[in-house]
Amino acid sequence: MYAAAAVGFSLVWGIMNVINIAHGTFIMLGAYTSYWLFVGPLHLDPFLSIPLSMLVMFAIAYVIQRFIINQVIRAPMLATFLLTFALSIMIANLAQIFWSSDVRSITTAYSGSSLAVGGLTIPWVRLWTLLVAVALTLGLQTFMTRSKIGRAIRATSMDVDAARLSGVGVAGIYALTFGIGGALAGAAGALASVSYAITPTMGDAFVVRAFIVSVLGGLGNVTGALVGGLVYGVIESFGALFFGEGYKDVVALAVLLLVILFRPYGLVGRATA
């Protein structure tokens, strides 16, 4: 789950050098999209609504980048940081105004069931979440390395002016990248809608974790984000085990600080990357 939340965040950060604080609210919007499709006349299963949720969030993120964030994309980093923060509080509060702050949840037929392997029981929902996260990550990785657009995106991240000279429409590429980040947030939201309570502020917890996971995995490193997500989950559980539940966040943030200070290029990255 953390991996799914972090992949899009890491992509936007790595390619565009934008820390998208609003990523959490995109996840929240994705979760609501799944929720409305589930309670609506279609009664669509959250796992089946992933593509729709991704499409909706792609469109929203694309427009936001094209018309708002693009205005300050070359300004100092504090500008984009504050701008996405402002967008996130606006989106979260508009959601609260229109949908109220009631806690909603999705209960499917398979919600309680789990797979028993030896002495372990793994809830089906968790297993499917993991599979979808892995599939999305691999799909994105393939897209970025094999397709023409993926190559254009990577070229833009290396040198904006050189990419422009080679005929890349930079503004469009940025909007596309942000849109893909949004789509991944939409997918993460659809996944979250099954196992987490759906509220307008549900995204906050994901942003902090997306931060940590992205740094652990190395910025813009898509597969790194997947590895970082798994590592983080383990660290958090062990932190809770050894120091007590209350210290879970302290341990996680201490790990983040140490990684930033000693391995800022991530656990799996290289210094020259």
Partner 1 sequence: MQAGGRLVVGIVIVLALSALLPPHLNGNWVHVLTLFFMMSSLAQAWNLIGGFTGYASFGNVTFFGTGAYACAYAMDAMRWPFWTAALFAVVVAAALAALLGWPILRLRGHYFAIATLSIAVGMQALVAQQEPFGKGSGMTLPINPNFHFFYWVMLGILIVSILLTAFIARSRFGYALVAIRENEEAAAVLGINAARAKVAAWAISAAITGAAGATFAYWNTFIDPPTVFDLNYNVLMIIMTLLGGAGTIVGPTIGSFILSAIGEYLGAQSISPWHTVVLGAIIVFIVILLPRGLMPYLTGGLRAFNLGALRAQLRASRV
Site residues, partner 1 (CB under 8 A): 13, 17, 19, 68, 70-75, 77-79, 81-83, 85-87, 89-90, 93-94, 96-97, 160, 170-171, 174, 208, 211-212, 215, 244, 246-247, 249-250, 253-254, 256-257, 260-261, 264
151 vs 164 by CB, closer to partner 1: 164
3-state secondary structure at position 231: helix
150 vs 172 by CB, closer to partner 1: 172
Q: Residue 209 Cβ, how far from partner 1 at the closest point, in Å?
A: 11
86 vs 115 by CB, closer to partner 1: 86
Q: Within a 13 Å sphere around the CA of 117, how many CA atoms are in the beta-carbon half?
A: 5
Beta bridge partners of 122: 115
Q: Residue 252 Cβ, how far from partner 1 at the closest point, in Å?
A: 9
Judge whether 12 and 18 are in contact, CB under 8 Å. yes
104 vs 126 by CB, closer to partner 1: 104
Q: Residue 71 Cβ, how far from partner 1 at the closest point, in Å?
A: 5
Q: Residue 263 Cβ, how far from partner 1 at the closest point, in Å?
A: 12
Q: Which residue bears the tokens 């029981």?
A: 121
DSSP string, 129-168: HHHHHHHHHHHHHHHHHHSHHHHHHHHHHH-HHHHHHTT-
Q: Residue 174 Cβ, how far from partner 1 at the closest point, in Å?
A: 6
47 vs 211 by CB, closer to partner 1: 211
Angstrom CA distances, 197 to 20, 248, 269, stand at: 23, 20, 34
DSSP string, 3-26: HHHHHHHHHHHHHH----TTHHHH
131 vs 254 by CB, closer to partner 1: 254
Radius of gyration of the chain (CA): 18
Q: Residue 108 Cβ, how far from partner 1 at the closest point, in Å?
A: 31
Candidates 255, 271, 273, 263; CA nearest to 212 is 255
